[in-house]
């Protein structure tokens, strides 16, 4: 993507800032209403090839409303202020910012050879907010990007474009605005074509990721109001993302549920995210029917949630033969321990250790009251065997505790080793390509093993390992000798 400012933008200082180019203001009165007008230069500047000046006070009203809404750096506008800004932008016309659909740029419908060049013009910028107009030729794309801690108003003035916006399903754990290279689940908020004139699109900072992407269908112009604007010094960097289609069969939990359903069992799934639960249940019911799968929201870190899960299971299934503790988190963190925040550590420890303890406690109490008893299976991971995990030390430490807790609760408990130990990025790609398997492959192996234990009526502790040492060594040898599995999931070079 090529984005450039056609005419240089200015920036004010703190507080209310100043108009670009330092132009003087003077008070005027029209139709009984006071307003500010630039004397030497209007707030809208001339653009090369588009020498049309704003003649309306609409942009001034928007400017004054922005000063009111964004009172200081980092201000989140109040709902009444958002409403005022929305109304002003909804009524904004191209002529209000010195544009016209008759301009040659907007008449062209031909696709641009090579990468379309996106240009923009800064209307106003200070520490509190910015106003900017982007000009996109046909097929031009502004990639998916975030707006950390920012409220964003986007008003399409001329042309047609496709807009997609997302919010994170799970809240951001770290306050660091820089994005993680790991996959995260996001929910689609907007995915529509817009043609001017149309209403304003708004992204809210409290919604989570507040990310969007623009794709021009025809030549178009869009007015963006950001408050506060991007600022590296204040930790508001712009991060770009790739969106990948998601189905709930992306995880081991869903894959296990599917295999149990194939075997004729009834299944309950849970997650702290209502969106995850709803999507998983919907897809599983489409394949296996409504009378075999149920779902509910449960945060394993909260005792009341897990108690509610037990009650939900009792109401729908009467008894539980198999309870699998699959919840785990590394808080999307792959930093050394010295660089890990308190919030990230709390997320990892409370989910992986406290959550496991609470779930085991409630599952044991439930099964003690069942005449037929039951079996609890704990899924461990990298670090559970005592090997170091330098890139995610906290995660490895919690997974080591899974083994200790499981042994302390014997007899009748099972752990499942699914992950490999940590390594450097280059080493990790090498081993992931050699050793990793899709969730459905793992589930196809594990579920028959798990189901065989209750049927055998054995209470002997059992450790089910998907990736055995012999299997790992044979796959490594095949890679070194024959180049097998190279670049299977990740490009290693």
The residues carrying an active-site annotation are 395
Measured CA to CA in angstroms, residue 110 lies from 107, 113, 193, 298 at distances of 9, 9, 19, 52
For tokens 């002529």, the residue is: 95
**φ, ψ dihedrals at 168, nearest 5°:** -65, 140
For tokens 């910028």, the residue is: 125
Token pair of 234, please?
A: 């204040």
Residue 398's DSSP bridge partners are none
Contact 293, 261 (CB under 8 A): yes
CB atoms within 10 A of CB 476: 16
Token pair of 485, please?
A: 């599995």
Q: Which residue blocks in 409-468 are alpha helix, DSSP H? A: 425-435, 439-456
Helix (H, G, I), strand (E, B) or coil at 205: helix
Measured CA to CA in angstroms, residue 285 lies from 92, 112, 276 at distances of 47, 47, 14
Contact 65, 88 (CB under 8 A): yes
State the sign of the Cα–Cα–Cα–Cα dihedral 460, 359, 354, 388. positive
Contact 175, 343 (CB under 8 A): yes
CB atoms within 10 A of CB 45: 20
CA distance 389 to 395: 8
CA distance 449 to 443: 10
Q: What is the dihedral of CA 435, 441, 442, 448, to 10 degrees?
A: -140
Helix (H, G, I), strand (E, B) or coil at 467: coil
CA distance 217 to 138: 5
State the sign of the Cα–Cα–Cα–Cα dihedral 32, 38, 41, 47. negative
> Which uninterrupted H or E stretch holds 257?
helix 252-262
Relative to beta strand 413-417, strand 375-379 is parallel
Contact 128, 12 (CB under 8 A): no
CA distance 181 to 330: 13
For tokens 């709902």, the residue is: 79
Residue 195's DSSP bridge partners are 160
């Amino acid at each position: 993507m090529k984005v450039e400012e056609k005419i240089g933008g200015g920036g004010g200082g703190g507080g209310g800032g100043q108009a670009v180019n330092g132009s003087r203001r003077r008070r005027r009165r029209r139709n009984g209403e006071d307003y500010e007008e630039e004397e030497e230069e209007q707030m809208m500047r001339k653009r090369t090839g588009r020498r049309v000046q704003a003649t309306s006070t609409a942009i001034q009203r928007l400017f004054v409303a922005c000063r009111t809404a964004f009172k200081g750096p980092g201000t989140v506008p109040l709902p009444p202020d958002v409403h005022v800004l929305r109304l002003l932008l909804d009524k904004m016309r191209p002529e209000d910012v010195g544009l016209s659909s008759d301009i040659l740029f907007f008449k062209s419908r031909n696709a641009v050879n090579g990468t379309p060049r996106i240009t923009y013009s800064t209307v106003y910028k200070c520490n509190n907010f910015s106003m900017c107009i982007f000009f996109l030729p046909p097929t031009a794309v502004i990639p998916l990007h975030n707006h950390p801690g920012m409220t964003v108003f986007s008003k399409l003035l001329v042309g047609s474009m496709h807009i997609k916006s997302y919010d994170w399903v799970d809240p951001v754990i770290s306050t660091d605005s820089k994005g993680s290279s790991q996959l995260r689940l996001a929910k689609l908020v907007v995915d529509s074509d817009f043609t001017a004139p149309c209403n304003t699109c708004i992204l809210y900072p409290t919604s989570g990721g507040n990310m969007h992407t623009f794709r021009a269908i025809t030549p178009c112009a869009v007015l963006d109001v950001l408050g506060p604007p991007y600022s590296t010094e204040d930790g508001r960097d712009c991060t770009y993302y790739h969106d990948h289609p998601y189905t709930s069969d992306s995880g081991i939990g869903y894959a296990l549920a599917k295999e149990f359903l194939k075997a004729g069992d009834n299944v309950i799934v849970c997650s702290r995210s209502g969106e995850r639960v709803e999507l998983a249940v919907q897809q599983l019911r489409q394949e296996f029917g409504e009378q075999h799968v149920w779902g509910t929201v449960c945060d394993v870190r909260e005792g009341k949630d897990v108690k509610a899960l037990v009650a939900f299971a009792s109401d729908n299934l009467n008894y539980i033969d198999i309870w699998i503790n699959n919840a785990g988190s590394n808080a999307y963190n792959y930093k050394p321990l010295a660089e890990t925040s308190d919030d990230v550590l709390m997320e990892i420890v409370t989910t992986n250790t406290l959550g496991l303890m609470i779930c085991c406690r409630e599952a044991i109490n439930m099964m003690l009251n069942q005449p037929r008893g039951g079996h609890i299976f704990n899924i461990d991971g990298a670090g559970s065997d005592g090997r170091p995990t330098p890139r995610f030390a906290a995660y490895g430490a919690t997974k080591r505790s899974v083994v200790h807790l499981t042994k302390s609760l014997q007899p009748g408990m099972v752990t499942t080793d699914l992950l490999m130990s940590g390594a450097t990025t280059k080493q990790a790609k090498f081993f992931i390509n050699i050793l990793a398997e899709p969730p459905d492959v793992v589930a196809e192996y594990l579920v028959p093993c798990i189901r065989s234990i209750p049927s055998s009526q054995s209470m002997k502790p059992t450790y089910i390992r998907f990736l055995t040492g012999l299997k790992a060594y044979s796959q490594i040898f095949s890679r070194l000798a024959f180049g097998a599995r190279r670049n299977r999931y990740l490009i290693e070079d």
